[in-house]
Structure 1
Amino acid sequence: MTATKRSKGATKRRQPLPVRKWAGYFVKFVGVAAGIMALWVVTVLISDVQWRPLAVTQYALTSPLVYQEETQLDDVLQGYMGKSLFFLDLLELNARLEALPWVRQSSVLKTWPGKLTVTLTEHEPVAFWNGEDVLNSEGIPLSRPMAELKLASLQGPENQSAYVMENYLQFAKIFREQNVIVEKVAMRSRGSWSITLRSGIEIFLGEKEVLERSRRVVKFMNSNVFGLDNIKYIDARYPNGVAVKLQDENSLEVKNDIAA
């Protein structure tokens, strides 16, 4: 009986399951999940805790305020008390201070360990505007400041504040030659100008060549023909002269040939 021969080919060995590999993945997953959970727990626990190293406790002005209301300044700065001096945004703070009505420029310095040193430059008031506001040196209307002011009163179209102020400054300079103070300047909607002096004399200049006409008025006043105390108003809307209304008379006295 012939014996059956077995094949001598290689027998494929069965691979063991990758238990260690998957166990390693599982451990890593559990570790990451635990870390995320721990971070979340810590975040929840300290969410109401504010870390404020070197908290701001006070502030000081380098010079006293003249026009800006101090309570408005306090309202802004009090919002920064208790905040960390490290993380305080000076750009934001300066912008908020410069948004106050009479603060032109702000500079805040951090003074260790917990103080803000505030330097403010205020707007310069020039004249009252339309009975409500005050013009600054740029002719911008601002709300009336806290200080009591003695300024000239200007009137004109709302969009002409800078132009009216510019002419007022010219008028004030011209009449200063006569040691006279300009109290009021008005520009009507159609462009006609009038001036009122502190003495009460009203001056009508019309629409054209108003600076030249104001110089003509000053020359007439220097002549003192009627006496300034006796004049009610001066009308300079004539080509080469002025008309004068006296306090005690109904008629006009016309003075011609007055060069500008």
Structure 2
Amino acid sequence: MSDLPALAEPGKSSHFYMGLAFFICLLLLLVFALLKLNAFLEDEQQAPVQDIVVSGDRIFIDDQKIQILIKQSQPGSFFELDVNQTHQIVEAMPWVYRASVRKRWPNGLEVFVVEQQPAAIWNGDMLLNQYGDAFDAQISSADLSSKISLPNLYGPGGSEQTALQGYRNMQSLLDATNLYIVEMFLSERFAWNVQLNNGIKLNLGRTEFIDRLQRFVDLFPLISEQDRQVDYVDLRYDTGLAVGWKTLDKAA
């Protein structure tokens, strides 16, 4: 009996090589299809972002600017568009406080924005939102005033939230009257000065400014009975106040 290995039958060998050739062809075809699919997905002309929908309550946000900015920063196809990067770009816009971005099949993008709520003009060239955060409005004062009326607050850098909270506390005290604050100044030493809508300037000092403002509110009816016009009221006293009257030139 021979110990030599049996030779493969010719029929079985040909079947093996045919199967191997078929597998290689199938693999090459799959690679080719994947390359074509990748090229298609990367081709902006084949799958562009066509529809960018902006939603959310907004007054100052320009939808067209958002759409243009997204298309300029994300020029690729719908499949290549980076949602996280687009979110960062939109949220970095001046009037956008918060934003969310998501794709919408097959070629759309949904952008939901929460607009900054301006509470005051800060140092003449910035705005404060409702939380006391400063932001650059990038809008003219004329356009701003045509849509909303805001007080002017002035103060040292870093005092934005203190100034806004102080303004709110004082204005809530004045709400029972026909008076409101049009300008408020917070000095480097944190002394409070305000100007009211009737032109009266109040010097409230550094401490107990709410109590001092209450003193003014209590005495304002008596002051208003005078024939002369008030220029300023100095309330930096433990009790009482000092009134500065307008001269004839100022009154005119």
**1:75-123 CA distance string (max 9 Å, x none):** 3221346522x45332322222111111111123333321222221101
Write the mapping of 1:61-80 to structure 2, written as runs, cut at 5 A. Answer: 61-63=54-56, 65-70=58-63, 72-79=65-72, 80=74
Greater fraction of residues in helix: 2
1:195 matched residue in structure 2? 194
Aligned equivalents of 1:228, 1:110: Cα separation in 2: 68
The secondary structure found in structure 1 opposite 2:159 is helix
Aligned equivalents of 2:228, 2:179: Cα separation in 1: 12
2:163 matched residue in structure 1? 164
Question: Which AA in structure 2 matches 1:83?
Answer: S
CA-CA distance at 1:213 after TM superposition:
0.6
TM-score, normalised to structure 1, is: 0.71
In structure 2, relative to structure 1, the CA distance for the partners of 1:97 and 1:227 (3 Å cut) is: farther
In structure 2, relative to structure 1, the CA distance for the partners of 1:217 and 1:249 (3 Å cut) is: farther
CA-CA distance at 1:195 after TM superposition:
0.5
Which shows bigger deviation, 92-101 or 160-169? 92-101
1:100 matched residue in structure 2? 93
**1:25-80 CA distance string (max 9 Å, x none):** xxxxxxxxxxxxx9x99999999765567532121222574223445423322134
- Percent identity of paired positions between Structure 1 and Structure 2: 24
> Rg bigger for which structure?
1
Say yes or no: does 1:126 pair with 2:119: yes
1:111 matched residue in structure 2? 104
Equivalent of residue 57 in structure 1, options 50, 53, 58 = 50
2:134 matched residue in structure 1? 141
Segments of structure 2 that go 5 or more residues without pairing to the other structure are 1-28
1:254 matched residue in structure 2? none
1:22 matched residue in structure 2? none
Contact 1:98-1:105 within 8 A present in 2 as well: yes
**1:199-236 CA distance string (max 9 Å, x none):** 11000011111111111111111334545972111110
The secondary structure found in structure 2 opposite 1:185 is strand
CA-CA distance at 1:187 after TM superposition:
0.7
Say yes or no: does 1:222 pair with 2:224: no
Segments of structure 1 that go 5 or more residues without pairing to the other structure are 1-37, 251-260
Question: Which AA in structure 2 matches 1:221?
Answer: F
Equivalent of residue 90 in structure 1, options 78, 83, 86 = 83
